[in-house]
Structures are given as structure tokens and as C-alpha cells.
Structure 1
């Protein structure tokens, strides 16, 4: 007589006890507040300096703040100032930004003053980069240093996770983006405890970082585009085509990235690389107009307030110029991130599609364009979906974007990323 083996119950991961999670709450709260305040402090300083450079000085000289000559001069001077910081500051304002992504390795604290000054100068001067990468790097370094100093009993890997999550929460004004990024980072890694146990402290830090930013700065990402009702077959087709086309467009920059970076690297000295990059950015700004300058978030709002205010050709020009500006700024050594400029590129691309085919709803064009560009530039699926969806507050958009992300992801996955190894080759 044969006996069948009794079915075994599926293995379950034991939950982490509350006594293990509770000691992480206070550090998470402190990191959340600190990360938000650092972001707001650097951003506020940059905004005040921007007003001086682009309004007060041109007004005093009696010239247009966004005249072609002033854009060329100002971007070149920004390259000189940032180059001086990179050259002379202790630690040279951190490693080559082309080798960095959202995830940061803790650096020595003495590097941070130069990194933060270079970031503020970049934000004020007009290069097409955002604050996310250097601010995350600074917060990770501070959290790791202070955590090791004052709470050495806690795991060392906890502090970078708290700082990254808190900064993402502060950047977007919501902890959802941080939770999605951490979930994506944990995928495939061995974990102790359940997923929510591992998200507990980072989510707390992200929530406090977001709340601090909301209370002080009141950020708003909804572009207030015309509302979209029930989805139509045409909306689905438009989302699929625009997201995939935007992904292909973004990949052209990704493939060009190591070559452009290598060309600037041949100039060797930061006082040559960065001013040369600034000059190129100034010429691009003169070609594309002042909306193609800076990190792009305020400029996206200006486009969205009047989606029919420019022709398809003008939207196409802004898209191409901003793409080139992002490529140059990321290649020549300016300290900054790529998410916010990519949002502008995707918005301009989506509105170009709307201008070419008026039946394409502006909300569909913008969200699908942002999704495709971000998938190519960041290779962060959740961040791309979240950012594209939050620009257009509509449940309909979320459904369309989830479907449109599938072919767009197939076009970018497994291909080079817009991040380099130390030897200058692309990370895959």
C-alpha cells in the first residue's frame, strides 16, 4: 500500500516583533524633519539667488533678464562658479555626478558644504537639473554620520534608507513615492521580516518629510489640466503611442550620454569642463527660450496653464532643446538630478502630440509623455508611474498609464541606463 505525502503548508515569513520596530520611530521622525529642512533650505537659498541673478541684476543693467545675451552670460558664469567650487572645495563637491543615481552611498561629511553650494548655484543659475540626487546624497551622508555617532546600536543600513525615503517624501510632498521606490529596491533582496516590516521606518521618515514640506512650502504637482472623463479607445491608443514614443526619444539621450560625458572629460579640469558646459547650455537656452532653463517644475506649470498657447513646432523645439540641455548638464559636471527636467520634456512632448492631433486629450498626452521619458531616463518604474499620475489627478489616467507602461518598459529594460560606471561605461 502506498501512502501519499501529506501536503505541506506554504512557508511563511515571520513578522518582526513590535519591540524591534519601536526603537526606529524616533530616528525616522528626526531624519524626516531634517531631510525636509535641508531640501527646503537649499531650495530657498537658490530661489533667492535666482531672483538676484535673473531679475535684480538685469533690471539694474536695463537689459532683459531672459535676453539671449544674458542667458549665455549667466549660464557661462554659473559654470565658472560651480567649477570653482568643484575645483577648490574639500572633496571636490562629491564624486562625478554622472556615476550617481537616486541611491547614494554615504560620503564623508566634509564633502557636503561644497556639494550643497554647487547644487544651490546650479539651481539658481539655470542648468537643466533638479535637486534630488545631491540632496539625497547629502541627507544620506548626514544621517549615516549622525546615526553612527548617536545611535550606534541601530543597523548601519537603516540610515541611508531613512534618508532616501525622507528626501523623496519631501521632494514630492507625499510618502507614496518613497514607499514605491523602497519596495522596488527591496525586490529580489533577502529580507528579514515581512515587506511592511521593512517599510515601517522608511515610510515613517517619508511621511514626516512630506508633512514638513507640506506645512512649510505647500507644494502642488497637479497641473490643473482640463479634466478627463471616462476613457475612450482613442485615449488608450494615444497613451500607448505617446508613452512608447517618449521612451524611444529618451533612449536617444541615454545612448549619447557616455559619449558626451567622455567629450567633456577630455577637457580634464573643472574650470574648463563646467564653463564650457555652461556656454553650451546658454546657447541652447537662447535657442529654446527661457522655459527650457532651470529644473523645469515651475516651467511645466506655465505650459500646463495654457496647453494650446504654443504650436506643435514650438513644443517640439522645447522638447529637443531641453533633452539636449539635460544631456549636457548631466555630462559636464553640474551637480543635480534628472527627474524634474525629464518631467518638463515629457510635458512638452505630450502637448506637442496634442497640438498635432487635437483629439489627444492634454492630460493623456502630458501624463503618457512624462511616463515614457522617465522610464527611459530613470529606469524607475514606480517613480515614473507615480510622477506621471500625480500630475493629472484622475483615476482614469492611472488605468491608462499602467497599460501604456508595459510596451514602454519593454523598449527600455535591459538597455543602457543614464548612469555610468567609474570607467565611463553605461550601467545596464
Structure 2
């Protein structure tokens, strides 16, 4: 699901030749970098990386604690000997109700609607930040199948813009956009395991490019690097973990084979078809959400809970395999993948995909981690078949599924390879093949059925312009 591109700039007349000139081509990147205003922007970007990273770390820690408390500790507190199999039902219904109330009554739309694709390049205004945070907490902590990356990007961008406005209320839009982007970098980069991966994600999603690419990304990279140090320090101090993407202690893998390339082609074809079905489900359901949000969203929560309960009853596994983004359960799934029956893996992928589609239609969160989890499950299934090993299968499945859902090919390759740490170099050729095939097929598939009754408004400030940023 592609991000919405920024509208093209209106060409300005060229006084000498009388022909339209592209403003982006008239800006000298070196002149921008040498300017005093840009140095002030870099300084502020470095400074903003610290508080944004602290807030992001606290947000992720709160989500993790709430998930553990609500789904594990609370049943024991209420006198249950074990967690009842029906336990997700009231929590998911409550999640739907809280998200609907946030979207309906708080300023803004409580974040970008995930069914419209992964979006970057804008940021919420200060009055809209509470809605973003509360809707994301209700979604992530209570079990809906979306990830934390989109709320973190919005939160970091909003806090970055707020910092600029507190320093200088009449700051130019370019400075606001650049510092907001730096806040988004700082918020999301450590979650993904690398400042560079965060840069690729936001660059592809926002459509940044051209000669001004380095100018726009440099403040964000600085904020992300400082944010990574903050995350490491907070991990050492609190012991809560780094919330990093990378999975250590994977089996060694050295050499791709012809059979593995063939399986990469198969997964590159299969993942776009599954992703098309997920997007079609979200698109078919979403008009009903718009018509009766306060009623339909809790019902969708009950359906998501029902999928998790059905999976648990059939397989004997925990409902948490279907619920949540999959970020915390993905390492265990990969480590224990060889012991999972192929039928249980298929049912897991199906239930997770259905819950993912329903969550996309009404809740608030990011689409990255559920796509990674489903891709990993499909890859583990392939590893049970002749000619495919576990580690490359997981990388191929994650890459193909992510590009099918996000349409961000560079980011999808990096997501799969960063996840696999020491095996990444050997796996990368297979991942690239699968991502390219999946990306081409995704682009050739017809639009999913269904239509929007109306779009959620997008109360965000436009992304970075190509003029020199300045704080004064």
C-alpha cells in the first residue's frame, strides 16, 4: 500500500528563457550545508534526538508492560488459576471502543489510518499528539495486530515540531519539517535496529530524493545516532531491553543454492497474492467502520480475538501468536520454527493475516511488524520443504511480504537482512530476488475490491521543502 505522494510543486517561470523551471533544481545543496541556518538546524536535530528517544523508549516500555500485565498478570490478580482462553475477547472489544473514541472525539485523526498505506513526510500538530498516543496504546497494548513504528514516527515528528515552535513560534515551514523529520528518525531508528534502516524507511515512504536528499537526511541521521546511544544507555540503566529488531544466535548460513533461488521465486509470487487479500479485507471493511465507528470497531476487536482463540484451541499454542504486532514473538517463532508442524504454521499465517486485515481497517498503528511476522511464518513453512534452509527462508519470506504490503523495496531488503544479523550477507542475494519479484507482481495486480465512503482527513503539515532550512 503506497504512501501518498506530496503534490508536485507549481513550476515557476524562467525569466531568461520563458520556460518553466523546477525549484528543486535551483537549490545548491553545498550552499545549504554551508549556511548558518543549516548549522543551527543540525544542532537542534542533535539535541532533539535525546528527549524524543527517551519518550520513545518510555512509550515502548509502557506498551510492553501493559501487554504483560493485561494478558498475563491481571487474570491471576482476578483469581483465575490460568489465563482463560476467552480472555482476549473483552480486551479486544475495549481496544476497539477506546480507539474509536479517540478518533471520534480527540483533535485530529489519532494518527495516520494504516489501511491507506505507510505514510511519512508529515507530522501531527501539538493538540493532536494525545490522540496519537492514546489510540496507539489502546491498539498495541490490548492486542490488535499492528506495530509501533507508525505511532513512533508521528510522535517523534510531533515532538520535534513542538520543540521548534517553543523556541521560535514563527519558524519557517522548512525548519519545522526538517526537525520534525529528525524527531521521527530518532523515534523509530533504534526500534528497527539501525539508524540507516530508519533513514531508508522514511526516505522511501516520503519520496525524498534528488540532490537535496543528503541535506534533508543529515539532521535525521544525527538525531537517530544520538537516539541510539540514548536507547543503549536506558537499556543499561533500566534493564528493560533495547526493543531492537535484530535476532541473535541464529543458525549459521553460508551459501545459497539453486533450489533456494527457486523457492525465493515461489515466495516472491505467493506473498503479493496474500498481501492483496489482506488489503482487500481492510478495504471492504473500512466503509462500515466509517459509517458506525463506535459500534463496528469493538466488533472487529471481537473478531480478532475470535481468530486468536480459534488458533489456540486448534493448535494448543498461545493466543499471543495471533495477537499483537508479532515483534516480541517473532524471535521465538524463528528459533522454534523447526518444531512447528507445517499445518500449524499455515493456520498461524492465515489467522494472523485475517487479524491484520481487520486491524488495518479501523485501529491505529504501523503495518511493518505484522507483515514481517506473516512473512517469517511463510518462510518457516518453506523451510520444511526440500531444498530450503530456515534462515534464508525466513529472510526471503520477510522481504517478500514486507514489499508486498509496503511497496518499499530497499527498506524490505534491509528489514530482512538486519533481522538476520551475521547471516545477512549470505542471505541478501536471495532476499533481493524475492523482493524484486514480489514488487513487480504487486505493481501489476489490480486494485483490491471495495471503496472508501470517505477518507479520514489528514491534518498534517507538508513534508520538507527544498529551500534552505533556517530557524531565524
Q: Same fold (TM over 0.5)?
A: yes
Describe how 1:161-310 pairs up with structure 2 within 5 A. Answer: 161-184=181-204, 189=209, 191-192=211-212, 195-217=213-235, 218-220=242-244, 221-222=246-247, 224-266=249-291, 268-270=292-294, 272-289=295-312, 290=319, 291-310=321-340
Match of 1:388 in 2: 416
**CA gap 1:405/1:87 in 2 versus in 1, 3 angstroms:** closer
Match of 2:382 in 1: 353
2:89 matches 1:72: yes
**CA gap 1:280/1:136 in 2 versus in 1, 3 angstroms:** same
CA distance, structure 2, for counterparts of residue 402 and residue 124 of structure 1: 34
Shift of 1:361: 0.6
Shift of 1:157: 2.6
Question: Which deviates further from its counterpart, 128-137 or 231-240?
Answer: 231-240
2:426 matches 1:402: no
CA distance, structure 2, for counterparts of residue 120 and residue 185 of structure 1: 23
Given candidates 315, 323, 333, the residue that maps to 2:353 is 323
CA distance, structure 2, for counterparts of residue 422 and residue 159 of structure 1: 35
2:51 matches 1:38: no
What SS class does the counterpart of residue 63 from structure 1 fall into? coil
User: Unaligned stretches of 5+ in structure 2?
Assistant: 1-25, 236-241, 313-318, 457-472
CA distance, structure 1, for counterparts of residue 154 and residue 27 of structure 2: 36
Q: Check conservation: 1:102, 1:136, Cα contact below 8 A.
A: no
Q: Check conservation: 2:60, 2:243, Cα contact below 8 A.
A: no
**CA gap 1:316/1:303 in 2 versus in 1, 3 angstroms:** same
CA distance, structure 2, for counterparts of residue 74 and residue 219 of structure 1: 24
CA distance, structure 2, for counterparts of residue 118 and residue 207 of structure 1: 28
CA distance, structure 1, for counterparts of residue 112 and residue 272 of structure 2: 28
**CA gap 1:227/1:12 in 2 versus in 1, 3 angstroms:** farther
CA distance, structure 1, for counterparts of residue 443 and residue 117 of structure 2: 19
In the TM superposition, what whole-angstrom CA distance separates every residue of 1:26-62 from its partner, at most 9, and x where no partner exists?
2111232233222211222222222221122211334
What SS class does the counterpart of residue 56 from structure 2 fall into? helix
CA distance, structure 1, for counterparts of residue 232 and residue 268 of structure 2: 30
Q: Check conservation: 1:172, 1:210, Cα contact below 8 A.
A: no
Structure 1 consecutive aligned stretches of length 4 or more whose deviation exceeds 4 Å = 11-14, 94-97, 185-192, 414-418
2:52 matches 1:24: no
What SS class does the counterpart of residue 240 from structure 1 fall into? helix
Given candidates 64, 72, 76, the residue that maps to 1:59 is 76
Shift of 1:245: 1.6
Q: CA RMSD in A?
A: 2.9
Match of 1:147 in 2: 164
**CA gap 1:117/1:242 in 2 versus in 1, 3 angstroms:** same
Question: Which deviates further from its counterpart, 316-325 or 222-231?
Answer: 222-231
Q: TM-score, normalised by structure 1?
A: 0.86
Q: TM-score, normalised by structure 2?
A: 0.79
Given candidates 97, 108, 123, the residue that maps to 2:125 is 108
Aligned residues between the structures: 409
Match of 1:375 in 2: 403
**CA gap 1:239/1:287 in 2 versus in 1, 3 angstroms:** same
Shift of 1:12: 12
Match of 1:343 in 2: 372
Q: Check conservation: 1:377, 1:417, Cα contact below 8 A.
A: no
Match of 1:7 in 2: none
Shift of 1:421: 7.4
Shift of 1:288: 2.3
**CA gap 1:188/1:162 in 2 versus in 1, 3 angstroms:** closer
In the TM superposition, what whole-angstrom CA distance separates every residue of 1:237-270 from its partner, at most 9, and x where no partner exists?
222222332222212212332112123333x232
